[in-house]
Amino acid sequence: MYKTIYTEVEVDVDLSDFDTEDLVEELESRGHGATEFDDGREILQAIYEKRRLGRDYQSELEQLIWLGLGKVI
């Protein structure tokens, strides 16, 4: 007889253990990849338009930071 048990496990990992390509793929799968903006000007335009309209632009801002610094916050 088999039983299925669900549990939660907390694991500490060092992101430097992962390839940048793998991290980018993961971000893109979550809808936070910066590759949809080939040029920083396009993402700046998207931020400008959303800010002008009073809409949330946090996702685009995070993409711009990643695009410029290669770091995710």
Tens-binned pLDDT, residue by residue, of the chain (73 aa): 888 998 999 999 887 888 888 887 887 787 766 555 566 788 889 999 999 999 999 988 888 887 777 777 6
pLDDT for position 54: 95
pLDDT for position 65: 84
Question: Taking the model in full, what pTM does it have?
Answer: 0.47
pLDDT for position 53: 95
Q: Where are the alpha helices (DSSP H) in the chain?
A: 20-29, 40-52, 58-69
- Angle at which helix 40-52 crosses helix 58-69, to 10 degrees, equals 160
Tokens linked to 14 = 């060092």
